[in-house]
Amino acid sequence: MKECSTSAQIKACRTLALERNHHLFEEASALNRAAHELLEADHLDLAQFDRYRELRRKADLMFEDAIQHLCVLNEDFPPIPMSPRNSQALRQRLETSA
């Protein structure tokens, strides 16, 4: 049986996947910030520096996962083209917020 998805279903799946991807980037950023906070300590010792490197390594891996996830997401759920009217409205909102 061939599976059919409506535009609304595809949009919902893409939105959910994008939310998950955003969460992955937020987690990686939080690890990155935590690592850099260790470097700002007054008395950085070897143990703290090792912890910094561990956090940075985890953050880098998580950033890589998030990027790969986004690539797969864009292959499986390509962005749905906006109508010219919606595109123009979005452009106007961006111009007025800048």
pLDDT in tens, 37-64: 998 888 889 999 999 999 999 999 999 9
User: In this structure, is residue 54 part of a structural domain?
Assistant: yes
Domain count, the chain: 1
- Position 8 scores a pLDDT of 81
pLDDT over threshold 70, residue 77: yes
pLDDT over threshold 50, residue 1: no
CA angle 65, 66, 72 (to 5 degrees): 90
User: In this structure, is residue 64 part of a structural domain?
Assistant: yes
User: In this structure, is residue 2 part of a structural domain?
Assistant: no
C-alpha–C-alpha distance, residues 54 and 74, integer Å: 30
Among all chains, which residue has been given the structure tokens 């123009």?
88
| Per-residue H/E/C for 42-85 | CCCCHHHHHHHHHHHHHHHHHHHHHHHHHHHHHHHCCCCCCCHH
> What confidence category does residue 32 fall into, taking pLDDT thresholds of 50, 70 and 90?
very high
* pTM for the whole structure: 0.69
